[in-house]
Chain A
Amino acid sequence: MSDATVDPRFRRKPPKRPLRLSWADERIRGIVWQILVVGVVGTIFYWLWSNTAHNLEVRRIATGFGFLNREAGLPIAEHVISYEPTDTYLRALTVGVLNTLKVSIVGIVLATILGTTIGIARLSKNFLVSKIASFYVEVIRDLPLLLQLLFWYTVMQGLPGPRQAFHPTEGVFLSNRGLRFPALEWEGAHTAAVVAFIAGIVLTWLYGRSARAKQMADGQPRRVWPAAIALIAGLPVVVWLAMGAPWTIEWPALRGFNFRGGANVSPEFAALLIGLVTYTAGFIAEVVRAGILAVNQGQWEAAQALGLRHGSVLRLIVLPQALRVIIPPLTSNYLSLAKNSSLAVAIGYQDIVSIANTTLNQTGQAIEGIAIIMAVYLTISLSISLFMNWYNARIALVER
């Protein structure tokens, strides 16, 4: 609300009264209580800290973060960045953080898509579709996530061994070692092409913005799509061609016990991802359904009166308004997905909790290890929270 709408009588400052050093003075009471609370909290923290330090010393338990530079010696199956057991604990923990981020980010994207689809399906006029969606939501939400993860992991283990792997098409193998598929041999040119692709998206967005500004000025609509294709598709191809157009496909093949070459999705990652996505999607579906139902029926009727089709009404009128209701609860679902990924320990996906647990077990630095886990989750959660709050503020109703 702008200042203009405030009643001028309320804008007058209250009369100043001198501070009296008496318990009867409300402000003095307030200050005393605050000092007391801060003092008590501070004392409790000091007491916890000094006793811990004292007991650790008495028990000759080493403290500090010096262990981070020691050689880890622990094997990690999946790593986004290169990793050898000869690397340091710091590197191992970084790999763990990246594994957590990997499953969280992919999980959030997929859970949003699946959840939105199911939420909309539950509102469908088609009896079968809406009942299937309700059944899904009720079943998934009522089973503990850990149970679901163990279920999916057991399903993965039920797949045949590598020598009897499912082989649906050339180069694709599905076995209890995971899903193997051909992959591009990654080179510098490919990285450059990806960078060009991202740059293309940014440039297209900037171009679209200026085109809209010009249209606002002179009323002439301008075509954006030819430039968009050129920037998003053309730029990466040009960069890739300029760098020698490398194109080697690595085909997986059974050698010895396992498949070598190509890319692999491990059963642990797949089980965790499927479990997290299907579970969180159940909650997101309800959030989406609630958001859509929160939009006044009159909005639907008004849009239909304008002659818009059902899909267009949903996309242009209802969803943008529903988003305002959806975003805050969606944020907490994203947060719980990221935190639930720590259940990976149970099925052997090496996330930050798994690696930090092993680290604190090998080094005995329990307090430091737990502090690292807490700091990582706090950072991830706060980042999600900040981003979603920013997005929420952006789509909020702008009052003019």
Chain B
Amino acid sequence: MKHVLRRSMIRTLGAALIASTMALPAVAQQQPAAPAAATLDAIRARGTLICGVNTGLAGFAQPDSQGVWRGFDADYCRAVAAALFNDPNKVRYVPTTAQNRFTALQSGEVDMLARNTTWTLSRDTSLGFDFPAINFYDGQGFMVKTSLGVRTARELDGATICVQPGTTTEQNLTDWARANRVNFTPVVIERLEELVTAFVAGRCDAYTTDVSGLASTRSAQARPADYLILPDVISKEPLGPLVRHGDQRFSDLVRWIHFGLVAAEELGITAANVQQMAANDTRPEVQRMLGRNGDLGRMLAVDNAWLVNVIRAVGNYGEVFERNLTPIGIQRGPNAVWPTAGGLQFAPPFR
């Protein structure tokens, strides 16, 4: 509870003092060069990557019993650290709420966000961010208690719905309600844990967020069978990591780490066999990817064995997915790899 106070104070202070925090880099370099261009150098000089993650969402980012952050998003932070330092543990995780995540990235408190964030036009432009890649294709859904007897979202007319403020979820909900003439009363609580507590306590009839988030919350309940995820999906939610606009080298690196993970699955490279493949595989693309041929790594300003380091640390895309998301009941669905499994995860050529 103290945390809430502290974090909300920090957020307010952080935003209020955005002027001074932003002012510093500009003074350091008198040239009007983009201050964000220094991200990659700053991370190298610091020796750790500062990664903004969720405050706790099973499967995506949550500390385990040892205090080690686990999950799909946490593994993306690890992958970037592995590419930069050949050490996946050189990451400092900063938990961010739906509301303070953008301020944290804008002000330079974190280097990147890997935090179930939907790619939208306004976030890409007026908020000053870049979305290097889509690492999870999602959509918004509803979860209700099975005992409520609701089977489709249209039956939710008159319901009270729990929703996290400051998300695309909140706006999709109002759009959908208007289009379908559904009246609802919102309950908006910023902290995910308290929002879920309110839903479980019966303060709301339904809880809405991305289907992956619903599956995660459902799996974390004592009796998951008491909760039902409705079949309706009311939006497209392409989730992915995001970085500050203006540092193309860093955003290129994050983008190609994602494509590297996807291509590795497509080509059958895994954490177990990556070193042997780097030494023996005769396919030209594999040789280029794993740094035996050409200098793709150097083009990204990292070690030529970058992808070997990444895959050795976290495995390929499929392994990351199966380790984190399959246990909480999320199917591969659109997140299968193209063309081998016909999904949307598609890696451009490594050449």
**Footprint of B on A, CB under 8 Å?**
47-49, 51-52, 54-56, 58-62, 73-77, 85-86, 144, 146-147, 150, 157-158, 161, 176-177, 255-258, 260, 267-268, 343, 345-348, 350, 354, 357-358, 360-364, 366-367, 369-370, 373-374
Contact = CB atoms under 8 A, between A and B. Distances in A.
B166 interface: yes
A360 B103 CA distance: 9
B27 A61 contact: no
B170 A75 contact: yes
30 contacts: A52-B23, A55-B22, A58-B36, A59-B35, A59-B246, A60-B126, A61-B126, A73-B174, A75-B188, A77-B187, A85-B174, A146-B5, A147-B1, A157-B201, A157-B202, A176-B203, A256-B158, A258-B185, A343-B5, A348-B188, A348-B195, A348-B198, A357-B99, A358-B166, A358-B188, A360-B15, A361-B99, A361-B102, A366-B103, A370-B15
A176 to B, nearest CB: 5
Nearest to B16: A370
Contacts of B171: 73-74, 362
Contacts of B185: 77, 258
A61 B16 contact: no
Given A74-B174, A348-B188, A370-B12, A257 B166 contact: no
B220 interface: no
Interface of B: 1-2, 4-5, 8, 12, 15-16, 18-20, 22-23, 25-27, 32, 34-36, 98-99, 102-103, 106, 122-123, 125-128, 148, 156-160, 163, 165-166, 170-171, 173-175, 177-178, 184-191, 194-195, 197-198, 201-203, 205, 244-246
Contact of B35 (A58, A147, A363): A58
A77 B202 contact: no
A361 B119 CA distance: 14
Contact of B170 (A177, A358, A364, A370): A358
A344 to B, nearest CB: 10
Contact of B20 (A48, A150, A366): A48
Given A51-B27, A260-B158, A362-B166, A268 B187 contact: yes
Contact of A347 (B8, B32, B35, B189): B189
B209 to A, nearest CB: 14
B66 to A, nearest CB: 28
A54 B126 contact: no
Given A364-B122, A364-B126, A161 B18 contact: no
Contacts of A85: 174, 177-178
Contacts of B177: 75, 85
Contact of A176 (B165, B188, B201): B201
Given A75-B186, A361-B166, 17 more contacts: A58-B26, A58-B32, A58-B36, A85-B174, A146-B1, A157-B201, A257-B158, A258-B159, A268-B187, A347-B189, A348-B189, A354-B188, A357-B190, A363-B122, A367-B18, A370-B15, A370-B16
Contacts of A176: 201-203
Nearest to B20: A48
The winner among B125, B157, B166 for most chain A CB atoms within 10 A is B166
Given A52-B23, A85-B178, A258-B158, A367 B15 contact: yes
A363 to B, nearest CB: 7
A48 B22 CA distance: 9
